[in-house]
Every structure is written in C-alpha cells, then in structure tokens.
C-alpha cells in the first residue's frame, strides 16, 4: 500500500496483520507459506469471494467519493457566508 500510494498510506504492521487474519477468517483471502532467503514468508491471494467483495467495496467507495467531491465543490457553504 505504501508503494502504490507513494508513501501517503503507510499502515503500521500492527494494523495490517490483524486485518489480514480477519480477511482470511472471512474467506476473502487465502494465505500460503514459503521460505525466501531462509525466512518464512506468508503470501496472500484474493479468493473468488474476495474478488466479489472487492468489486462491491470499490463501487461503494466510488459512489462515496463522488458524493463527497460534489459536496466540497459546491460553493459557498451555507455556514461560511
């Protein structure tokens, strides 16, 4: 997330891993273990159910951002005049 947002969204490890565990328990992602350079590494992939949930969530966020953007563009705000 840090890479795709140019560092603007940098979540601490204590936030990311509990979220991954919840998503895995919900069946939205599946994890596999591998060994890389002598260290165990967990890799996650979206399940079909996860792809469906992501599609719905993206649509919801698009609608939300459109509403908020529209509200912010309207001027002047009644409380500021």
pLDDT band at 77 (very low <50, low <70, confident <90, very high): low
Lowest mean pLDDT among 3-7, 13-17, 67-71, 76-80: 76-80
pTM of the model: 0.72
The Cα–Cα gap between 42 and 13 comes to: 14
| Domains detected in the chain | 13-74 (1.10.10.10)
The whole-number average pLDDT for the span 57-77 is 89
Of 39, 41, 38, 19, nearest to 28 by C-alpha is 19
Q: What mean pLDDT value characterizes the chain? A: 92
30-62 tens-digit pLDDT: 999 999 999 999 999 999 999 999 999 999 999
CB atoms under 10 Å from CB of 28, counted, come to: 19
The Cα–Cα gap between 47 and 16 comes to: 18
């Amino acid at each position: 997330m840090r890479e795709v947002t140019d560092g603007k969204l940098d979540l601490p490890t204590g936030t990311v891993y509990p979220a991954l565990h919840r998503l895995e328990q919900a069946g939205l992602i599946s994890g596999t273990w591998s060994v890389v350079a002598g260290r165990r590494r967990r890799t996650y992939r979206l399940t079909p159910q996860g792809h469906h949930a992501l599609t719905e969530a993206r649509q919801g966020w698009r609608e939300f951002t459109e509403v908020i953007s529209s509200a912010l563009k309207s001027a002047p705000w009644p409380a500021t005049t």
